[in-house]
Structures are given as structure tokens and as C-alpha cells.
Structure 1
């Protein structure tokens, strides 16, 4: 599963607002055993949004959290673009959302607010505990939420609790810390099997250089084998290390 965040907000890019979504989403995903694959902050630009969504759609393992652009003003482009990219279709009025808007705003739903109910075909609603103006999602993996954190963050919670739920636990992980720079181990890194996850975290403490190496995967035997390559290199170079 490759999880993407798309944060739509010209105001963030021009400095009028601070992004509130990235850290919240990252931390919540980690609580459920997930990590972000990529995060984008983009302008309210039709072609840019279309290209970003298309790139994500073309990843067969993609899951997307999209923030912003689902209101009723002319720069709220998300619904139409999502419908074009993910449904190859124009939007369709969602009956329940239509009724929710009428119930809340009455005659003031027209002529603009009512269009918030025009969603990509087969959309399902994400509950909004603040004002009942829903987000929506497609195919159980593309989620579209308002730009307002007080509305979208409860939706993130709902998605993780009720739709994605907890990720399968990672099978095996081995980690060491060595008293050397990561440059000393690059040759080993190049030999590591792509079937395991390998991470290298350099640690700088004044003049001292250390590195933390971690190898993880579902196959215990393979994780042990690949991890041993680092140990062998360190022993050969007489570099001090510790398993952590």
C-alpha cells in the first residue's frame, strides 16, 4: 500500500496559511501501522491537480488522502477533477448529501452551496461532525476532505478506524548502531535485496559520526541474511557496533 497525501492550497504556498494536515496525517497513520509514501502541497490549479491525481491513480497500490477544494466557491475544483480522473465521467448529484444541504441551509442552499452535492459517481460520504457537510471517497481508497483541519482531521480518524483499519504487522526487523559514517557501508547497501526494507540514519554528534542501520521484512531468514552483510563488513573493518 502506497499512501499519498495531496494538500491543495494556494494559500499555503504563498504563506497566507500554515499547513495543518501533513503532521496530523503522518502521525495518525503511524498509530495504525502505516507510513506515507509521498506528500504534495499544490496550487488550486486544474491541470496540476489533474496530473497529480492521474499519477496517483496509475499506481496500482495507491491510497490517497486529498485535502481541500470541495467547497462551493469557483476555486473549489476537486469534485470535477476527481470525477474526470477516477471515473472518466462528469459529477452526479448525491441524493443524501443534497438532502443534508437543503436541511441545513434551506433556500440559501441555492445557487451555490447545492453544488457541493455534485460528486463523482458512486461516491460514498465521509461524516463531518462540525457541520454535516460531508467529504467523500471512491473505491475504498481515494479520500477527499475539506481544507479546514477541524473538519478534515475527524475524517482522517474515521477513515483509519472504519475503512483502512490497522495495517498488518511488519514481520521482522533488525537494527544496529555503528561508530562510523554511513559512507563506509554504502557498498553493502547496494547489495541488499529489494525484497527487504533497508534504512540508514546518519547520526552526527560534534566530530563523531555514527550510523543506525535497520533491515525489515516478512521473511525472517532473508532479513537475517541481509542484516548479516552489515555485521560482516563491520567486523572485517574492525568497526565497533551494537545491536539495538
Structure 2
């Protein structure tokens, strides 16, 4: 699965609010051995939101988490656009969503809050622990939640538990090589696709270093390639230390 995140809100782009969704979703995915494929922050613009959703829809492996824009104010455009892009049909009243909204607000659901029960045809519901107004999903792959973290984050966990019931965290091995990453490229090229390689260059004083990370769901494969890297460096007299030490002042301290 390719996990996409779309955060909708002009208030984030103009710095009236700080985003709390990117860190949350990446952490939740990592706990389950997954990562984001792409993340977007877009303003409350109908055409831009629609084009972003179309991009996600074009990926047959896409799973979408969309944050914001599902309320009842004029700038809440997500429900209508989601229906257009992902179902090609207009919004309809979702009976269970309507029941929950009425149970929460009674007569105060009218004239505005009740519109939040207008959802894409065939939508599933995500439970809202704060005010009972649900988020929704389309096709079990596209999930739409409010912008408020206290409402949104439990809904995302609910969706992930359904999508990845037996998920396990990635196995990761990291070391800091006291050399330029250029000296490790020949070894990097040998790493197979099932082991994800990350190389981050840095400076240790005036000296180039490289933080190498190997990760994957197959722990034995990750461990084996980690050992191969260590052997490669031993043969070439390259020093290294375990872990990501790129900002460790003791590592770069001069003896002079």
C-alpha cells in the first residue's frame, strides 16, 4: 500500500495554526511497519483539492488520509469534492451519520450541523470520540477526518487497525560511517529491494561522514546486510560507530 496524506487548511499555510498531523501519521505508520508515500498541505481551494485527490486516485495502490474540511462551514469543501472525485456522484444523506448528529445536538443540529450527514454514496463511518460527528471512508481505502487532532487521530487509528490488523514495526539497523558516503556507494548498490537503504551525509567538523540506515519487515535480511556493511568497512579500514551520531559533539571533538 502507498500511504498518502492530504492536510487541508489555509490556516496552516498562513501560520495561524501549526500542523500536528504529519508527525502523528508517520509515527503511527512506523509502528506498523509502514511509511508515507507522499504528503501534501493544501489551502481551501476547490480546484487544488480536487487535483490533489485525482493524483492520489491515479495510484492503484493508494491509501489516503485526508485531514480537514468535512465540517459545515462554507470553506468545508472536502465532502463534496471527495464524492465527485472518488464516486462520481453527488452527496447523499447517510442515515447513521444523521442519527448520530441528531443524538448529539438535537434541534441544534439544524440548520447547519445536519449537513455533515451528507456524505459520498456508500461511505463507511469513523467514530468521533469528542462530539459523535463521524468521519468517513470510501471503498475502505480513502479516509476523511476532521482537522481537530483530538477527533482525527482516534479515527486514523481505527482505520489503521482495520487496514493492518497484524502489522509489525520495521526492523532497523543504523550506523555512522566516518567517511564520505561516496566510499560506500559500491556496497549500497548491492542491497536488495526488500531492505530499504537510507544514506544521509553530514559533516563532523571538517570531515565528511554518512549515516546509513537499513530497514525492512524481514529482520534476518536487515541484520545480514548490516553485517555485510560492517565487513565491507573492516576490509577497507573505514571506521564507524553504531547508531545515528551525526550531531554527537563527542564524535567530532578535536584532540588538539
Shorter-chain TM-score range: 0.7 to 0.9
The residue aligned with 1:41 is: 41
The DSSP-based 3-state class of the residue aligned with 2:108 is helix
Cα distance change on mapping 1:31 and 1:173 into 2, 3 Å: closer
Structure 1 runs of 4+ with >6 Å offset:
none
Residue in structure 1 matched with residue 98 of structure 2 by the alignment: 98
Q: CA deviation at 1:230?
A: 8.2
1:20 alignment counterpart: 20
What is the DSSP-based 3-state SS (H/G/I as helix, E as strand, rest coil) of the residue aligned with 2:199?
strand
2:79 aligns with: 79
Change (3 A) 1:242 1:16: closer
Q: Does 1:202 align with 2:192?
A: no
Structure 2 CA distance for partners of 1:176 and 1:20, relative to 1, 3 Å: closer
Gaps of 5+ in 2: 244-256
Contact 1:3/1:63, CA 8 A, preserved across alignment: yes
Question: In 2 relative to 1, CA 194–32 (structure 1 residues): closer, same or farther, beyond 3 Å?
Answer: closer
1:145-195 per-position Cα deviation (integer Å, ceiling 9, x unaligned): 00111111221222233443342565x766544210213334554565545
Output the CA distance in 1 between the equivalents of 2:128 and 2:75: 21
Task: Figure out how many residues of one structure are paired with residues of the other and give that number.
Answer: 242
Q: Structure 1 pair 175/151, CA: closer, same or farther in 2 (3 Å)?
A: closer
- Counterpart in 2 of 1:141? 141
Asked if the contact 2:173/2:222 (under 8 Å) is kept, the reply is no
Q: Determine if the alignment matches structure 1 residue 116 to structure 2 residue 100.
A: no
CA distance in 1, matches of 2:62, 2:222: 26
d(CA) in 2 for partners of 1:113, 1:222: 51
CA RMSD of aligned residues (A): 2.8
1:181 aligns with 2:176: no
Equivalent-residue separation in structure 1 for 2:169 and 2:30 (angstroms) = 12
Structure 1, unmatched stretches of 5+, are none
Q: TM-score, normalised by structure 2?
A: 0.81
SS of the residue 2:27 aligns to: helix
Residues 165 and 195 of structure 1: CA distance in aligned 2, closer, same or farther (over 3 Å): closer
